[in-house]
Amino acid sequence: MRGLRRWWDDTAGGLPGTFWYLWAGLLINRAGAFALLFLSLYLTAARGASPSLAGLVVGAYGIGGAAGTLLGGVLADRWGRRSTLLAAHLAAAGLMATLAFSQHLAAIAVLAALVGVAHSMPGPAFVAAIVDVVPEARRSRAFNLQFWAFNLGMAVASLLAGVLAEASFLALFLVDAGATLAAALVIALKVPETLGRRQVTPRAVLGRRPGLHTALTDRTFLAFVGLTFLLAVLTMQTSTIMPLAMRADGLRPTAYGLVVALGGALIVAGQLFVPRLIEPYRRSTVLAVSTGLMALGFGTLTVADGLPLYLGASVVWTVGQMLAAPPNAQINADLAPPELRARYQSVFYLTFPAASFVAPALGGLSLEHLGERHWLVVGALGLCAAAGHLLAGGPRERRVAALRAADRQPVESRR
């Protein structure tokens, strides 16, 4: 019992109550996030779209997400974290309910783009709020638990979504909208505004006038963002291209739900042990190994033609995702100057909507013309990202050390 208590204290001890309400809101939201998992199947099976057209419509979600991410970062720094979260969740619920009753592909594409805006706005606010309330020494734990909650919710969503998709696509969208409203209620009742008085960031460290432009021209940070984009392209294969590949292999939606659920179950069972496992190693090394595992897992799909091989490959890339989550989030937080925290988060989160566009738009064409060789291309991208992390690790570490040294200076010396 004492050993279990000590493990829990090491894993989640000392985290403030506000973090746990943010965590709960994220968990509820993800547990009901059915629709986007099956959007490509919905478009091809229920609306008669080709794989290429379905990829473009799903890609519209990514285009909207890019705008929503930047908007969410600016609003979270100016308007507040809580207000941004509430506005985004309420808008997403309304748009998802509208999408449930839309029949024309053009209208679905427009709504998908708007849902992308609403779904991407909370990302920078969530992370900025966590950094606001969690002391630096405990942030790695907080980010690990955030990733755990995200995947616990996705595991629940995947299991239920496979059943709902075969019974009713309408229910798929409406349950998604209801879960988003429930998450908004938790935030409204339990999460206070965490944006306090802004800290002064030395111009010597920033190198230019503070603003969104700073994040968009920070070369060390952008190198990290670019590598994260490649990782996101790999991750997005599971929700965009893999369903189409499994359908081409004669597998049912429930089989796809089982593959995604297996990944979520592995994360739920093992993610809390990851921080202690990777603690002795440099973050760049951990990210290189994790991205290499993801490349291997997706590359294996080149020869997958049945459910067992899909399940085995899922285990490999899921282990990679598990190892990558804590250092990826921690590096992102460390590279952001305090007064630009949400803006840096918004630029970082651009990788995900961008990948949401690139992965299905180019992936649909690649799958259609290359067939199973598409997965060799995906594996090669992963290996390039692994090498990039090894090369970029040194400059990142020096940049973080400079920011921490500047933060320790008295405010008077910064003027």
Task: Give 177-203 as a 3 state SS string.
Answer: HHHHHHHHHHHHHHCCCCCCCCCCCCH
Distance CA 12, CA 19 (A): 11
Position 54 scores a pLDDT of 80
Return the structure tokens found at 25.
């809101």
Identity of the residue numbered 270 = G
Tell me which residue of 341, 401, 411 sits closest to 131, measured CA to CA.
341
| pLDDT the model gives residue 31 | 73
Diameter of the chain measured on Cα atoms: 67
pLDDT of residue 10: 56
- Sign of the four-CA dihedral 132, 133, 138, 141: negative
The domain segmentation of the chain, as residue ranges, is 17-190+209-408
Q: Please provide the DSSP assignment of 187-245 as one string.
A: HHHH------SPPP--HHHH-S-SSHHHHHT-HHHHHHHHHHHHHHHHHHHHHHTHHHH
Q: 298: closest CA among 349, 200, 232?
A: 232
According to the model, what pLDDT value does residue 359 have?
82
Question: Would you state the pLDDT for residue 85?
Answer: 94
> What integer pLDDT is reported at residue 187 of this predicted model?
94
Half-sphere exposure of 339 (CA within 13 A, CB side): 14
Structure tokens, 100: 């449930």
| Burial profile 353-390: b = 16 or more Cβ within 10 angstroms, e = fewer | bbbbbbbbbbbbebbeeeeeebbeebbebbbebbebbe
Q: Which 3 state secondary structure label does DSSP give 155?
A: helix
- Domain boundaries 17-190+209-408, CATH class: mainly alpha
The reported pLDDT for the residue numbered 203 is 44
Each of the 415 residues of the chain gets a pLDDT tens digit; together they read 555 556 555 566 678 889 999 999 888 877 766 677 677 777 877 777 777 778 788 778 878 888 888 898 889 888 889 999 999 999 999 998 898 888 888 888 888 889 888 988 888 888 889 988 888 778 878 888 888 887 777 767 766 766 766 667 787 788 888 888 999 999 999 999 988 754 444 444 444 455 677 888 888 899 999 999 999 899 888 877 888 888 877 787 778 878 887 887 888 788 888 888 888 888 899 999 999 999 999 998 888 778 888 899 999 999 999 899 888 888 887 888 877 878 888 888 788 777 877 888 787 777 777 877 888 888 999 999 999 999 988 888 888 777 767 666 544 444 4
Task: Indicate the DSSP class of residue 306.
Answer: S
